[in-house]
Amino acid sequence: MRLEEFSLPLETPLSTASGEIARREGFAVRIDDGVGEATPLPGWTESLEECREALAGIDDPEAVIGNLEDRPAARHGLSLSLADRDARDEGVSLSRLLGDGRAETVAVNATVGDASPEESANAAREAVENGFETVKCKVGARSVVEDVERVRVIREAVGSGPAIRLDANGGWSREEAARALDELAEYDLEYVEQPLVADDLAGHRELSSPVPIALDESLAGRTVAKIEALADVADTFVLKPMALGGIDRVVELGRRLGDVVVTTTIDAVIARTAAVHAAAALDLERACGLATADMLAEDLAPDPAPVRDGTIPVPTGPGLGTDGPWAGGAFDA
């Protein structure tokens, strides 16, 4: 097994609850001719140093993978490299190794950040004109009144056809969430993601919402069994392979929970492509949060699955379905 450490600059620094992120740092993990990616994200996974320690000096990857329960990024990189290797050996794509899904493309959503109503409406309109059928809008950083107004003008701008989903990132209190969900119901929303803070599972369970609820941050650090136990807390579950410990776990949870969306943690091209395969293996109908390549100023290699008209084509070659530096050479990063 070989590790190749990388550090990739973001196009624009990202503000998170754990501080500002200007670069995505991680490891390409190679086992024989398979390649994986371990890219920790503060607040979601172990630290970079913890990930490095977990992956260092491994002689038998398959024997130790069960010991990485508290190191999801490391497990993601290791399990993906093994899966890519096995799929290449069998001459099938990763999505076919993971499941029987035969999807040729995966629908993805466009993201509208926290901007003024006019700017938000223009961004949403442009996304729809570019082929996106689902628009995700960030809420929760402004007052409920302001967010409701933003959603109103976004719906007016895109019309009744496109789906609109909101992400509050845990920014509302229980009272604010109840008020917001009630007032937002008239805008035909697909769902509202993480209306309350991650650890307020009781609050999410008790929300009497006219709008479907999705969980995201609440899933971080939980095992497959513990996430499955949350089936009655929300309508939809947002699955991040890097935070959950691998695409194998995402596929397992997708089959158990049913209504899921696959998203990334602003990963490099290896993990993004793997997430596309996971979504394809599940044959998901909902748009996934995988259109994140443009958030990186640089990447490890050319993207084999770029966004086209609101969808991403699923690579059909063996394994991840790629050639070039993926197939054994060092990455230039």
Rounded to an integer, what distance in angstroms lies between the CA atom of residue 19 and that of residue 39?
17
Q: Burial-class residue 256 by CB neighbours within 10 Å (0-12, 13-18, 19+).
A: middle
DSSP assignments along 212-263, one per residue: -EEESGGGTT--HHHHHTTTTT-SEEEE-HHHHT-HHHHHHHHHHH-SEEEB
Q: Is 323 annotated as a binding residue?
A: no
**136 given a catalytic annotation:** no
For 153-211, list the strands marked E by DSSP.
Answer: 163-167, 191-193
The H or E element spanning position 137 is strand 134-138
Q: Is residue 274 helix, strand or coil?
A: helix
Q: Is 200 annotated as a binding residue?
A: no
Q: Judge contact between 173 and 146, C-beta under 8 A.
A: no
User: 76, 125, 155, 240: which one is catalytic?
Assistant: 240
Angle CA(201)–CA(202)–CA(207) in degrees, nearest 5?
100
Rounded to an integer, what distance in angstroms lies between the CA atom of residue 292 and that of residue 267?
8
Interacting residues of 25 by C-beta distance below 8 A, sequence separation 6+: 5, 6, 7, 8, 39, 40, 48
**240 given a catalytic annotation:** yes
User: 88, 125, 138, 286: which one is catalytic?
Assistant: 138
* CA max distance for the chain: 58
Q: Is 216 annotated as a binding residue?
A: yes
Interacting residues of 274 by C-beta distance below 8 A, sequence separation 6+: 36, 37, 80, 84, 94, 241, 247, 320
Quick one: tokens of 224?
């497959």
Quick one: tokens of 47?
């630290």
* Residues tagged in the binding site annotation for Mg(2+): 167, 193, 216
* Residues tagged in the binding site annotation: 167, 193, 216
> Would you please indicate which residues are annotated as catalytic (active-site) residues?
138, 240
